[in-house]
Structure 1
Amino acid sequence: MAFLVYIPLKMWQEIAKYGRKLVEHGLVESNFGNISIRAGNRMLITRTGAALDEITENNVVEVDIQDTSSLDIIASSEAVVHREIYRQTSALAIIHAHSAYSVVESLLAGPEGKITPVDSEGQYFLGEIPIVGGGIGSRELAGNLANALSRYRGAIVYSHGTFAIGRTLGDAYIITTQLEHSCKVKYLYDRAATGEKISKPNERSFDPRFYL
């Protein structure tokens, strides 16, 4: 009897796939955000400045999880953050995006606040959304995020963007989209609840900054 054997895509191709999805769905601008996959004691992470919708094998760097290396200089500036998350959690994949509504909600809630979703999917899948502080690519941010993601599947860095973890990039992508969806619903709900007039957004071109 013959058996079908599943052969996964090369890891960089998987990273490229989700990089395109993030850009196509407006969850990040092309040259911002970063993605990584864990492979044993090492991780593959996007290079600094790489356009996420144009990832090739040359745009992904393999570095050690336990120790820094000479390749860190060309890896994403958030490599130290990804490294610490892998050290302290069971995550096998991480996505960092700059989703607009998530950033806005973090600014409204404060650097050490939490966002409680008002939509049923957000309540079910996320529960609460923690907000953490720390400079971009700093050890402070690495520690704060690793601590938050040891208890939650996703978090928002104050004024910066989302981090989501999973066993696969597919898992992390779903959490990324849920974080942004819940923040969008909460933003629009809170504006409506205060009686503030909100014009109907034009599909995905809506910019929440016009309604602050």
Structure 2
Amino acid sequence: MARVSQEHLDARRRQILDGAALCFARNGFHATSMQDVLKEVGLSAGAVYRYFSGKEELIGAIVGEVLEWIQATFEAAAEETPPPPPDVLVGRALTQVLGRKTGVHEGESSYLPRLIVQVWAETLRNEELAAVMRQGYAKVRVAWVKIVEGYRAAGMMRDDIPADHVARVMIGAAQGFVAQLALFDEVPVEALQDGLRGLMSMGRPS
């Protein structure tokens, strides 16, 4: 029997993750069955269960992957001297994450914000998923604190405000924008960048 290449195995895993993510974003975790996932990806139960034991493992893999994308973006920015300003950095991170839409059907390219909101809701009842989220959030905060320290070293930001407070606000800006995309309208990432630039330009009243 011919050996299956690693490239083929990786592509099959990618196919399953993309299909499951789309199903979860469309109908929610609890309304989506493994049969729905099998139908979406067009594979047999045996082919899918070779990679994932069930919905919980699929959800964990999807969440872990998104958190890794976000973390990598901010960690890379923290190594730049000086780091990109907040409007550029947050816009870059959102564009990179929201742009990962491989395997999505036409007309459903904006599924990722809905999926992210579904994940947030699921963490309120799923302690294992909540632990994954807390760990990922902590790593992103650490990266943002390093970015803020880079701003200070370059004379770009005042140094009398705790760096962790700035980190939380910038993460919150990105999270809030994702929630708007999922719940209200298809506002472009550039709108968030413009808003951040406007806030950054504020000075004391004369």
More strand by share: 1
Does TM, normalized by the shorter one, top 0.5?
no
Q: Which protein is richer in helix relative to its size?
A: 2
Using CA pairs below 8 Å that are at least 6 residues apart, which structure has the higher relative contact order? 2
Could you state the TM-score of these two structures normalised by the residue count of structure 1? Answer: 0.30
* TM-score when normalising by structure 2: 0.31
